[in-house]
Structure 1
Amino acid sequence: MNEIKTHDESLFESIKHINEYDQEYWTARELQNVLEYKEWRNFTKIINKAIDACKTSGNAVSEHFVEVNKTSPTPNGGKRSIKDFQLSRYACYLIAQNGDPHKEPIALAQTYFAVKTRQQELIENYDSLSEDQKRLSIRHEMKEHNKQLVAAAKDAGVETPFEYATFQNAGYMGLYGGLKAADIKKRKGLKKSQNILDHMGSTELAANLFRATQTEEKLRREHIKGKEKANATHHEVGTRVRQTIADLGGTMPEDLPTPGKSVKQIEREEKKRLKKLKDKE
């Protein structure tokens, strides 16, 4: 398909539908074409894997995969009934996660649906938040997932603080085109004691959140063992995220602007604001 070569995330938005209840959904048949699966029977195998993953995660399949039938014209001028699914954004994410990772459209879909799904999980009205509020939300999520990443890395054999620093640098180097944590701090004009993540905008934080969540999942899913393999896995995921950003025409993370306020400063201001509101009650 020529459309996919634009590497524009609006492609996935262009096939989005809104039902009578103002809920978004995608159809499996349209997603099949965008993801370049020629045979419906092959694509249904991916859908079934995604449904199994949905069950395993404890989510209601009926809320994310709605089976429907629609008519399709036949060569002789008649019509036939064909099976289709109405898919939630989460269902699309699971399909992308279970698709062929070597397919370029799958890589694009994995990032697009993962980031958007994560935003929805963070907060329902994500798109209406201010930039500072988005940074607070994603930074909080990043803290939680970093704990899980630490645990997954430890299970893989990354044990000492030095080994974990090396592991983290591997991920940063993949995502930031070879830059280590110290290099990123220098580029941002930060002190050694300052946390890089506290000085990122929402877009940069989202890229790092995706790096962290996907690395943790890959370490556990593939039962990675050995610190060298863990480091290589983190670097690989970081590189894949960077490549997808490039494919989508996005700005490389090292070239994104550094916000004037740190997340900690925003947190302090938010606490003061809430205290004033409480005092007025």
Structure 2
Amino acid sequence: MKKEFISELFKKFEDACYDFDGVECWSARELQDILGYSQWRNFKNVIDKAQKSCEQAGEETKNHFAEFSKMVEIGSGAQKPVEDIALTRYACYLIAQNGDATTKSEIAFAQTYFAVQTRKQEIIEKRLLDVARVTAREKLSQSEKKLSGIIFERGVDNKSFALIRSKGDQALFGGRTTNDMKRILQVPANRPLADFLPTLTIKAKDFATELTSHNVIDKDLKGDGQITKEHIDNNLAVRKMLQDRGVKPEQLPPSEDIKKVERRLESDEKKILKEVKKIQENNKKKK
């Protein structure tokens, strides 16, 4: 495939893309022309196959293939309505996968174009989830530090604080202690349990911890007994809230080591900064 042909097709796909309620879309009629289909009925057969693939993937077709009518000129200023379909990037990817790449170079290009773009979106989504989890973990650390500062002024030492946290975990995880959960999730003995918990559980622990901090001050609680009971009650309340929504914290699978996630994000950040600097340097040269 010649470089000029690739550049031409790339521009066509980029130019055909439009925004519909914040979602990137392509018109099926325009895509038909770009992909080299002379007749709508032939291209519609490919779309039908793509919709079946969408269903088999467990996706709602209406979220990716939105049918609508538009007016087109038929000569002498007259117009008539024609069927069209607004296609998401994922829909275009499925259409390309169901097209005949052996006879149409445009299809072969589209398969690569939309596969790469879809993959980029997946990478972005994964990064956002990673950032959310790291942020939640940092927030939990801050909440625990805040709680420790509050209760140390109320007759609780380091050993008692560790016991209070463990009792809280036991309440949150349905009777399973911190060590029980570390064993179940195969967490190294020298690492905090929270470093291997999914975002939802981290946020649950954080909410219970914040409640305890608030109530210790609000109720003027003092000593191991009162504060331990408060922390247990708060974790039980959070557990009930999760259970009411069909979630059992102890049954959620472990997540990737948070330290690995942090290192990956830091590495990505350096790469992004490097690319930004490169773009800035190129722009300066152009000027």
- Length-normalised TM-score, structure 2: 0.50
How much has 1:129 moved relative to structure 2? 7.0
Does residue 269 (structure 1) correspond to residue 271 (structure 2)? The answer is no
CA distance in structure 1 between the partners assigned to 2:240 and 2:222 by the alignment: 26
Structure 1 vs Structure 2: percent identity of aligned residues? 22
One-letter amino acid matched to 1:230: I
Q: Which residue of structure 2 lines up, in the alignment, with residue 48 of structure 1?
A: none
For the 8 Å contact 2:151–2:222, the answer to whether it is kept is no
CA distance in structure 1 between the partners assigned to 2:160 and 2:200 by the alignment: 28
How much has 1:241 moved relative to structure 2? 0.9
Q: Which residue of structure 1 lines up, in the alignment, with residue 183 of structure 2?
A: 186
Structure 1: stretches of 5+ with no match in the other structure: 1-126
CA distance in structure 2 between the partners assigned to 1:273 and 1:243 by the alignment: 38
Does residue 225 (structure 1) correspond to residue 222 (structure 2)? The answer is yes
Does residue 167 (structure 1) correspond to residue 164 (structure 2)? The answer is yes
Q: Which residue of structure 1 lines up, in the alignment, with residue 253 of structure 2?
A: 257
CA distance in structure 2 between the partners assigned to 1:129 and 1:156 by the alignment: 41
How much has 1:201 moved relative to structure 2? 1.0
For the 8 Å contact 1:156–1:219, the answer to whether it is kept is no
CA distance in structure 1 between the partners assigned to 2:141 and 2:162 by the alignment: 16
One-letter amino acid matched to 1:231: T
More relative contact order, 1 or 2 (CA 8 Å, 6+ apart):
1
CA distance in structure 1 between the partners assigned to 2:246 and 2:147 by the alignment: 26
Which residue of 127, 145, 150 corresponds with 2:143? Answer: 145
Which residue of 270, 274, 283 corresponds with 1:279? Answer: 274
CA distance in structure 2 between the partners assigned to 1:156 and 1:171 by the alignment: 18
How much has 1:167 moved relative to structure 2? 0.9
What do the CA deviations read for 1:113-137 (whole angstroms, capped 9, x no partner)?
A: xxxxxxxxxxxxxx99732121011
Structure 2: stretches of 5+ with no match in the other structure: 1-124, 278-287
Q: Give the number of aligned pairs.
A: 152
Which residue of 202, 205, 215 corresponds with 1:205? Answer: 202
Q: Which residue of structure 1 lines up, in the alignment, with residue 134 of structure 2?
A: 136
- Bigger-Rg structure (1/2): 2
CA distance in structure 2 between the partners assigned to 1:254 and 1:208 by the alignment: 12
For the 8 Å contact 1:158–1:167, the answer to whether it is kept is no
Q: Which residue of structure 2 lines up, in the alignment, with residue 79 of structure 1?
A: none
How much has 1:164 moved relative to structure 2? 1.4
- Length-normalised TM-score, structure 1: 0.51
Within-5 A mapping of 1:2-13: none
How much has 1:217 moved relative to structure 2? 0.7
CA distance in structure 2 between the partners assigned to 1:181 and 1:199 by the alignment: 12
What do the CA deviations read for 1:221-241 (whole angstroms, capped 9, x no partner)?
A: 111011111111111111111
CA distance in structure 2 between the partners assigned to 1:131 and 1:276 by the alignment: 19
For the 8 Å contact 1:139–1:197, the answer to whether it is kept is yes
CA distance in structure 1 between the partners assigned to 2:128 and 2:208 by the alignment: 23
CA distance in structure 1 between the partners assigned to 2:260 and 2:204 by the alignment: 22
